[in-house]
Amino acid sequence: MARITTTGQSITAIEEPQIGRRELLRLAAGVLAAGAGGSTGCGGGDDYGEEDARILAERIDAGRARAGAGRFGELRFRGYTGLAELPEFGLDEAGELVLAKRGVPRAIDIHAHLGVGVFLAPRVDLLQRTERVRHFLDDPEVLDLDVYMNDNFTPEARRRLTREQLRQLVLGSEFAATHTAPNLVAELDRMGFERACVLPIALGLPGTDLTEDWIGTLAGTPLAERLVLGASVHPRDDAWQPKLRRAVAGGARIVKLHPEFQRFFPDAPEAMEVYAECERLDVPVIFHAGRSGIEPEFLRKYALMRRYVGAVESFPNVRFVFGHAGARDLPDAVEIARRAPGGNVWLGTASIGVSALDQALAALGPERMALGSDWPFYHVGSALAKALIITRGDAGARRQLVRGSALEILGG
């Protein structure tokens, strides 16, 4: 048994790091189920039905079945470096993927993260440069840009992903140790990106507060000129309001909320209070929105797209970004963005396959979409590749999609 010594809220020592996979899983499931208040809040309660589950399964199957059958044909590459086949990309002397073509607008990534070590895990040294980045999708043998990105995980890679995500809560993840600020900036440099938003998630667990940690480490450093600092609060944290104000005063320019991992309904009254504060502070909100299909089933009820309508309609002056464009629930997200009375909804492109992205672009126009990578899940080059493929021959749409929308969301 691991013996854990705590002083107040901070974990000061963890001994004997030998812990089995099953024990790890049990511990993490308990953490997710019990964290931050434990209750599911209000906002109409659980209405996840069989029809919801059926639609998700259908969308997953249909997405896979259509891969390679769109107007761009097959889009399968030999890993991230295989993207060098694209006319805009190449490889440098070290064999790393680079943006090789001039004239591509400097991208702004609306959706990236840094290394997570929270709860019982040691915090990640965000300033360290390591030899290579271990993306959660760690240079796959085959990278298909025409599927939802998490379909690129082999069963073995999926197991590794689960293991590393749990290790971010206990023991520490060797992948997360490479998800550092200089590593991200080096990747941004190679791919010609100007900036990336780095988004913490307030899991409501004792231990490291990622928002405070990242701001404390990065604000005022040269790295912060390339990394737009995000904040995250938990709507059921009694102190969320002062924490949010402190974060924004400290340099945070966008707020990340993850209803699934944070276990709150986006239309719950306590969440509405957070959006009201974001309106007062004039900071945009980026949601994890929609179901990815690989999350634990008991969390899916929090991410149904109908749950986001209340936020968008009640706060037409708040700029909302749906990360992953609604994920597997993209069709619902497109509808909500189209109908949003304030024109205040953007779809982030992270994870969405090329053909699906192309259709969303046709439906909404580039003004309502913003480039996102979800680094360190995936190489930022994979996100840029998709944006370039769907905007070939339309320089205006390309500029808007890869940076213009982000500038409008962030207010410059």
Considering beta carbons, is residue 267 or 374 the nearer one to Zn ion?
374
296-317 as b/e, with b when 16 or more CB fall inside 10 Å?
eeebbbbbbbebbbbbbeebee
The minimum distance between CB 187 and Zn ion, in angstroms, equals: 16
Residues 346-375 that bind Zn ion (CB under 5 A): 374
The minimum distance between CB 200 and Zn ion, in angstroms, equals: 11
| Angle CA 255–215–200, to nearest 5 | 40
Task: Count how many Cα atoms sit within 13 Å of the Cα of residue 355 in the half-sphere of its side chain.
Answer: 18
SS (H, E, C) 346-390: EEECCCCCHHHHHHHHHHHCHHHEECCCCECCCCHHHHHHHHHHH
Considering beta carbons, is residue 187 or 374 the nearer one to Zn ion?
374
Alpha helices per DSSP H over 191-268:
210-218, 240-249, 259-262
The minimum distance between CB 323 and Zn ion, in angstroms, equals: 6
The C-alpha atoms of residue 359 and residue 349 are separated, in whole angstroms, by: 12
The C-alpha atoms of residue 251 and residue 241 are separated, in whole angstroms, by: 16
Number of residues interacting with Zn ion: please give it, by CB under 5 A.
1
The C-alpha atoms of residue 409 and residue 412 are separated, in whole angstroms, by: 8
Considering beta carbons, is residue 89 or 284 the nearer one to Zn ion?
284
Phi, psi of 364 (to 5 degrees): -110, -25
109 binds Zn ion (CB under 5 A): no
Considering beta carbons, is residue 199 or 205 the nearer one to Zn ion?
199
The C-alpha atoms of residue 287 and residue 274 are separated, in whole angstroms, by: 12
Cβ distance 376 to 136 under 8 Å? yes
The minimum distance between CB 321 and Zn ion, in angstroms, equals: 11
Within the chain, what is the greatest distance between any pair of CA atoms?
60
Residues 373-392 that bind Zn ion (CB under 5 A): 374
The minimum distance between CB 374 and Zn ion, in angstroms, equals: 4
Considering beta carbons, is residue 351 or 405 the nearer one to Zn ion?
351
Q: Quote the crossing angle between the two packed helices 181-190 and 380-390, to the nearest 10°.
A: 30
Residues 183-222 that bind Zn ion (CB under 5 A): none
Considering beta carbons, is residue 196 or 390 the nearer one to Zn ion?
196
The minimum distance between CB 76 and Zn ion, in angstroms, equals: 24
End-to-end CA distance of the chain: 51
Cβ distance 348 to 387 under 8 Å? no
The minimum distance between CB 111 and Zn ion, in angstroms, equals: 6
Considering beta carbons, is residue 274 or 289 the nearer one to Zn ion?
289
Residue nearest Zn ion, CB atom distance: 374
Considering beta carbons, is residue 358 or 374 the nearer one to Zn ion?
374
The minimum distance between CB 256 and Zn ion, in angstroms, equals: 8
The minimum distance between CB 201 and Zn ion, in angstroms, equals: 8
* H or E segment to which residue 231 belongs: strand 227-231
Considering beta carbons, is residue 104 or 205 the nearer one to Zn ion?
205
- Positions touching Zn ion (CB under 5 A) are 374
